[in-house]
Structure 1
Amino acid sequence: MEIRAFRDLTAELLAVLEECKITERDDKIGRVTQLIDQRDGLLSQIKPPFTVEEQQLGRATVLLNKQVDHLLKLQKQEIQRDIQEINKKKRSSNKHTNPYESPSVDGMFYDKRN
């Protein structure tokens, strides 16, 4: 039954996303990508008409999927914050290694004499 397999993959995806180990983030992202690809393959196979049991599984899966979406958004925000922090450190490091590369606006004045 494709809906049951889809629900199981969604539950597994949720479990992977709930893991809090940042040291293994690359592995986690790889596993999440793999599970999403598997779910996409199953999703195309799910076709009506649905039995009562399949409808219940579908509702439960929708609830799980909302949690997955929320955790994916949080993961994306965390990655974006890390990228911004790395870029900020790069800019700061570049200013220290070559301070004359970009002109500074410090010490500028305008002569207002007419």
Structure 2
Amino acid sequence: MPIQQIYDLTLQLEQWIGKYRQTEREDWIKHLQDLLAKRETFIQQQSKKLTDEERVLAVSLNEKNEKINQSLLAIKQDIVNDMTAFKQRKRTVNRYRRPFSGPTRDGMFLDKRE
């Protein structure tokens, strides 16, 4: 009965998403990928014909999947925001270290020759 296993893995996935912390992001993502891969194998094994009990579980699975997708989108946005902030910090540090390497903002020309 793969649908029950899919449902159990979906519950584990939902609980794991609730444990998301920015500080332990890499390990969290690895475990998330493992859970998704396991669930994917069971989904591929699932037959097209469902019994009445399995249909009830399938409806519940759809609702949980939507919640999981929303949570994952929020986490993705958090990661994108961190990446953007990192790039901005990197640019700022480079400008501070080499202030005359790029074009100036005020149009001033500096002759590098002596």
Q: Name the TM-score, length of structure 2 as normaliser.
A: 0.90
CA contact (8 A) 2:4 2:57 kept: yes
- 1:18 deviates by 1.1
Contact 2:20 2:28 in 1 (8 A): no
Shift of 1:107: 4.6
Judged with a 3 Å threshold, the aligned counterparts in structure 2 of structure 1 residues 80 and 31 are, in CA distance, closer, same or farther, namely same
| Aligned partner letter, 2:98 | N
**CA positional deviation for 1:34:** 0.7
Q: Does 1:51 align with 2:51?
A: yes
2:6 aligned partner: 6
1:92 lines up with 2:95 in the alignment: no
Gapped regions of structure 2 (runs ≥ 5): 109-114
Show structure 1 runs of 4+ deviating over 3 A. none
RMSD: 1.1
Deviations 1:74-102 (A, max 9, x none): 01000000000000000000000001111
Identity over the aligned pairs, expressed in percent?
30
The structural deviation recorded for 1:25 is 1.1
